[in-house]
Structure 1
Amino acid sequence: MKKNILFCFGVALLGISCSNDFTEVVPSNNVSTKEVFTDISRAQSFLNPAYGSVRNSPWISLDAQTHNVVSKSGPSRTAVSGATAESSPVSGEWNSAIGKILHINEFFEKGFNVTYDAFDEEFAEALKKRIRGEAFGLRAYYKWILLKNFAGPSAQDPNTMLGIPIIDEVLTIDNANDIPRSTYMQSYANIQKDLDSALTNIDLLRYAGDGDVDGVRLTSRISGEMIWALRARMALFAASPAFEQISWEEAANTAYDAIAAIDEGAIKDLQPFGNFNNVDNPDHFWRRSFSENGSLESQNFPPSLFGNGDWNPSQNLVEVFPDSLGYPITDPNSIYDPVEPYANRDPRFERFVFHNGENEFRNAFIEVFAGGKDAQGGIRKQATRSGYYLKKFLSDNINLDVEANANKEDYKVYPIFDRGGLYLDFAEAAIEAYGIAGKGGDMVFSAKEVLSVIRKRAGISTDQYLDLAISDLGAYRNLIRNERRIEYAFEGEYYYDVRRWKVSLEELNQPVLGIEVGKEASDKFNYTATEIESRSFEEYMYYNPIPRNEVLKSNTLIQNFGWQ
């Protein structure tokens, strides 16, 4: 059997870095196009770069376009003054996704005219089938990236919801620019068709074992789990208030079918957050290859932990973490105490955010009070602008002190789709379709039961609020949205959520708040919320613009409504 497969996914077993998994093989002076596409190893490697634009780290900067995060270096112009058609936070996704789609189309045209292993036809056919499924799945993913970022009402007819240019053949970039945008539902159906084809060719939910076609070293490739999870996420967006292209029932059933396929019809407890370094986490449906490094720690540890403290959580975000009993801190039943604002809080707060005082993270004592070592003008002149530092994704195994004989690196594993996200997709759609505890058709669990699993993983001890709020659909809707905001903090997903929910302009234009901490003579602290950044958001901004230069280059591209 041929075993010289150029996919470096032995990392999950061997514990080594695999940051260079996807090395491009293209025709050159030494390797002709014919040679590339008549050799199985080279043909596989030609597909590899199609994975290159799959995000392999959290999109923290996109959260800085919302009320969740600010940068210590200063406000983002697009957040404070508003995006333009020339410059939006996601404009780079257009060319990136289209370039990968064109690359995959070239692979479809040429990549199967190859010499497969003549000594093991069964292996050869299984390999051919899997990589064909990968190509369909990747193309669906990049089409989804385009739809997620650029769908919107037509500038020519605001009642028509436009999607993406459907590009399913080999074209030059110039020719691709002249493909018109299809409607949202035409685009949605086209992506579903690619996902169907991917699922037909990929026979397994998850890579496991040590096989050459389906072994664990191939983790990070398209799998059945990823395909099901992407279906659910697409359906959630399509049903959302900003689009309203399918019913909530269809979205809920799609997510339920995904859970049934992946989890055999039952909901499972979720893995603890830990140090975000578990390379074998069963909750991860799809991730890029991982590496062993300390870059996130170097960027985000507070100065007293020898980091740069680049991204600072806001007071707005801090206030959405409930108390330890699950009550919103504004609820009259809450045990939250504004005098001791960091006590008796949802354990996710302690795991996701560095705050003033003692933190359960190497017993660090963070000083953001005036004159403190982590405040402006402390160890570093430029420090947190919000009074907080980001902790999520960071490993307490890492010690950046140059004097310490300690680890400077740890594994970094970032999922693109995971079990918790799929459960939240179902919960959001299910309460709209069937109510808080309702079940449609043959469903064996409800939105409430799934939400309970999410909060159980969070560490909420006795979740009294889930039962108290059961009679109030609006409260539960807000609860689920709040859970998404917490669970996806610092990943960029909240940027899309507030848009697809069409959160009110009044809320979106509220200022971003930080906290000022004063230290009293008694070594007690006082806390005052303060405005640190403004936000500028207008109604047409619920939908991102097609990059203006792409519209100008094209004879057919129609811009989204409201963008000049």
Structure 2
Amino acid sequence: MRTIKYTIIFIMASLLISCEDYLDKVQETEGLDQDDIFSDIRYVKDFFDGAYTHYLSEVSSVNQSPDILPGMTMSGEGYPGRKASPTPETYNFYAQGDYLSLMNRTNRADTSPLFVSRYYSAWKGIRIVNTFLEKADQIGNTTQEEIDNLKGQAYFLRASFYHFITKRHGGLVYLKQNLNINEPVTVERESYASNLADMLEDINLAIDLLPIEWPSENVGRPTKGVAMALKSRLTLFAASPLVNQSNNTQAWSDAATAASDLINFANDNGLYALANASAANTLDVDRDAVNFSAGADLLAPEPAVLEPYRSIFVGPGIQKTIPSEVIFMEANQKFFTYAGILNPTPRLSLTVGFDIVKFNQNPMNIGALANFIEKFETKNGLAIEDDPSYNPQDPFVNRDPRFYNAILFDGVKWTVTTSPKNTSGYADLAIVNEQGKFGADLDDPSRTTSPLIVYNLTGLRIRKWIPNGAYWISGNNGNFSYHVNNIIFRMPEVYLNYAEAVNEAYGPNGKASGGTLTAIEAINLLRNRVGMPNVDARYTGSKEAFRERIRNERAIELCFEGFRYDDIRRWKIAHLEENKKVEFLEMRWQGSETPTYPSGFSYENVEQTQLKKTFNDNNYWWPIPTSEIEAVPSFDQTEGW
């Protein structure tokens, strides 16, 4: 047998949530061949856990560095404020539809954008999983239960790796055995349908083999519920117009059943309970019509009645606990590591900007777009265009309570730091503020300071991933007693999956086979838990009308979590004008509060035509690197590239 030298590196801490010491352990074993490794379960576990280091979800980072072009920018949720040159360069590749240049980046393996790294990393993970599965039955010094638990994880990981890459690139080749590198490679590309069947086969095996819960020393590994969540996500993608071009009702029915199975499983086992922030319907986010004073919660950084919901995403203290509705999330026990690395980097340093990471080159300060926040309904449960009480010259009052968790707007009280930019104690995002100056949080075109400083460009910041009070001054000085949760699966996504699939298969008032909820009831469950009323009857009269409300609900509940880019792709609406345009919010102080300008500011959404994205038919499926085609000519490039 050919001898293969292995270096076994056990670095689970960067990937899975646990409180056990084993997650911080790093082991290296040199000079072992395959027979040595698979003769002892201890070596096998170390080898197998190497696959987790290649598990790059939409919220992961590479080598502790955040993605400089995440889904929230690609989807039209936001736009970055970092002024260093790589950002506009990379944005333009995407915005102009030049995905092939992105995939051909020479430093592709370990750098941003993350979807380039994900392509290569997934194949590495698949190779480790396949090697394990080929040798699993010869493992010594163990029990069948232990082997089955490892196999369950392996099948889950293989399906996950393929989902990461096939959802962007389409059908590839589903390797269940590793290719022999000493023989000519003549593999041909398979269809997405073929890959889907193999992914579902692996997921079903994982569901059968994985435990409902792990003992404490293994908490954080994928469970039966995690595998079911992946099945729900995957079947919904496969039922959507991008893949299901004939609108086969059976595909929607399968997706509805997958989501229903997980909902029933969770209820039967007391798992993944939704957060209860129903008291958020008492939020005081109005403005007095006489003296124009703001309600007590309108400018509060973290309103108390929203805490049960906000704690899903951020919270005080570096020690994490898994929120009740979270099914699976990454671990990052430390908030701060010196040398400019923030933990967890993917969401925090993408959205915080200058006031936490001073002069750091990684943070982006991605700001929300003005046209995106229009999707948040009013507190009355109506789209803003349907609610006569909505005033575009006072746009922040009386919105969906989730608005006050997700969006940081001008005037919100925010902890004062020693940052030389904004020491006012509130978000200052006006083109002309109360002092007649350019807002301290905005990028002033006349500035002469370093372009590496991170500014806001859009006039709106993302509050969802910023703990109020966290900041870095310099060195190890600052306040880091906070955590941010990098969530991969949480239960609201499953209810949204269920509602969408049921509506398409059976209509708004239908139920999945074995389901206990109608599509409408599933959406209302999510809304009511954050203090929102039921979906208004004007939006539930037909499958088509309710489809738009479900999509809007999904945009709000899952905003800035890495879903929307793939959502607008699978719905085949990414090419529509509304999803290509970029609008910033411009605020100007008008001298005083008046009936016309109740806050004292004027508000205008201004389209940034130079940032408008191009999206053609070929952009719905991504190309693979040109080097892949050169190495294996039989492996065709994605159609259209």
TM-score normalised by the chain length of structure 2: 0.75
2:145 is aligned to: 126
Deviation sequence 1:60-84 (CA, Å, 0-9, x none):
7222112111111354013321123
- In the alignment, which residue of structure 2 is the partner of 1:64? 73
More deviation, 394-403/189-198: 394-403
State how far apart, in whole Å, the 2-side matches of 1:502 and 1:400 are: 42
Correspondence 1:85 to 2:152: no
Partner residue, 2:264: 260
2:511 aligned residue:
439
| AA in 2 matched with 1:77 | N
The answer to whether the Cα contact below 8 Å between 2:17 and 2:330 also exists between their aligned partners in 1 is no
Q: Which residue of the other structure, out of 261, 268, 274, is the alignment partner of 1:269?
A: 274
The whole-number CA distance in structure 1 between the counterparts of 2:375 and 2:489 is 23
Structure-2 separation of matches of 1:17 and 1:350: 38
State how far apart, in whole Å, the 2-side matches of 1:172 and 1:25 are: 26
SS, match of residue 287 in structure 1 = strand
Give the aligned partner of residue 513 of structure 1: 583
Contact 2:353 2:366 in 1 (8 A): no
Once the two structures are superposed, the pairs formed by residues 135-534 of structure 1 within 5 Å of their partners are: 135-151=154-170, 163-172=171-180, 178-202=186-210, 204-205=211-212, 207=213, 214-244=214-244, 247-264=251-268, 269-270=274-275, 272-274=309-311, 275-277=313-315, 279-294=321-336, 295=342, 296=345, 297=348, 300-301=351-352, 303=354, 310-331=365-386, 333-359=387-413, 364-370=425-431, 371-377=438-444, 383-396=455-468, 398-400=470-472, 407-460=479-532, 462-463=533-534, 465-503=535-573, 505-507=575-577, 510-522=580-592, 524-532=600-608, 533-534=611-612
Counterpart residue type for residue 378 of structure 2: D
Partner amino acid for 1:264? D
Q: CA deviation at 1:304?
A: 5.2
Deviates more, 1:64-73 or 1:398-407: 398-407
Q: Report the AA paired with residue 528 of structure 1.
A: E
Offset, 1:302: 5.2
Change (3 A) 1:559 1:13: closer
Aligned in 2, Cα 1:545/1:404: closer, same or farther, shift over 3 Å?
Answer: closer
Report the residue type matching 1:168 in the other structure.
Answer: K
Alpha-carbon spacing, 1:148–1:128, altered in 2? closer, same or farther (3 Å): same
* Residue 173 (structure 1) shift: 6.1
Deviation at 1:322, TM superposition (A): 1.0
Residue 556 of structure 1: aligned partner: 634
Query: Residue type matched to 1:273 in 2?
Result: R
SS in 2 for 1:417: strand
SS in 2 for 1:253: helix
What is the CA-CA distance between 1:495 and the residue it aligns to? 1.0
- CA deviation map 1:119-174 (0-9, x unaligned): xxxxx3322221121111111111222221211xxxxxxxxxxx220101122568
How many angstroms apart in 2 are the aligned matches of 1:254 and 1:429?
10
* Total equivalences in the alignment: 527
What are the Cα deviations for residues 449-477 of structure 1, in whole angstroms up to 9, with x where unaligned? 111122223332x34x4333221432321
Q: Which letter does structure 2 place at the counterpart of 1:145?
A: F
- Say if 1:260 and 1:51 are closer, same or farther in 2 by CA, change over 3 A: same
Alpha-carbon spacing, 1:373–1:403, altered in 2? closer, same or farther (3 Å): farther
- Name the amino acid aligned to 1:393: W
Deviates more, 1:60-69 or 1:442-451: 60-69
CA spacing shift, 1:472–1:335, aligned 2, 3 Å: farther
Query: Where does the alignment leave 5 or more consecutive residues of structure 2 unmatched?
Result: 1-9, 61-66, 104-112, 277-308, 337-341, 417-423, 432-437, 594-599
C-alpha distance in 2, partners of 1:361/1:482? 32
Change beyond 3 A, Cα 1:406–1:16: farther
- 2:138 counterpart SS class: coil
Residue range with higher mean Cα deviation, 184-193 or 421-430: 184-193
Q: 1:177–1:466: structure 2 CA closer, same or farther, 3 Å change rule?
A: farther
Alignment RMSD:
3.2
Q: Which amino acid aligns with 1:343?
A: V
Which moved further from structure 2: 93-102 or 287-296?
Answer: 287-296
Letter in 1 for 2:372: L
Do the aligned partners of 1:85 and 1:546 also contact (CA within 8 Å) in 2?
Answer: yes
User: Which amino acid counterpart does residue 344 of structure 1 have in structure 2?
Assistant: N
Q: How many Å separate the matches in 1 of 2:73 and 2:182? A: 34
Q: Is the 8 A contact 1:517 1:527 kept in 2?
A: yes
Give the superposition deviation at 1:558. Answer: 2.2
Partner of 2:128: 103
TM-score (normalizing by structure 1): 0.84
In 1, distance between residues paired with 2:589 and 2:365? 24
- Give the aligned partner of residue 50 of structure 2: 49
1:210 corresponds in structure 2 to: none
Counterpart-to-counterpart distance in 2, 1:398 and 1:80: 33
- Kindly tell me: are residues 288 and 457 of structure 1, through their superposed partners in 2, closer, same or farther at Cα, counting changes over 3 Å? same
Deviations 1:310-349 (A, max 9, x none): 2111112211111112211111x35322111111111222
The 2-side partners of 1:145 and 1:316 are apart by: 29
Letter in 1 for 2:243: F
Task: Look up the equivalent residue of 1:79 and give its one-letter code.
Answer: Y
Q: In 2, distance between residues paired with 1:478 and 1:561?
A: 30
Asked if the contact 1:328–1:334 (Cα under 8 Å) also holds between the matched residues in 2, the reply is no
Name the SS of the counterpart of 2:603 in structure 1.
Answer: strand
Q: Provide the C-alpha distance between the structure 2 equivalents of 1:470 and 1:317, rounded to a whole number of angstroms.
A: 23
8 Å CA contact 2:573–2:579 kept in 1: the answer is: no
3-state DSSP class of the match of 2:633? coil
> CA 1:270/1:468 → structure 2, altered by over 3 Å: closer, same or farther?
farther
Contact 1:12 1:216 in 2 (8 A): no
* Structure 2 counterpart SS, 1:247: helix
Q: State the secondary structure of the residue aligned to 2:172.
A: strand
**1:93–1:149 contact (8 Å) kept in structure 2:** no
| Gap change, CA 1:184 and 1:280, over 3 Å in 2 | same
Alpha-carbon shift at residue 116 of structure 1 (Å): 1.6
In structure 2, distance between residues paired with 1:257 and 1:544: 32
In structure 2, how many angstroms separate the alpha carbons of the residues matched to 1:92 and 1:298? 19
- Tell me the distance in 2 between the aligned counterparts of 1:238 and 1:514: 34
Counterpart CA distance in 2 for 1:302 and 1:96 is: 28
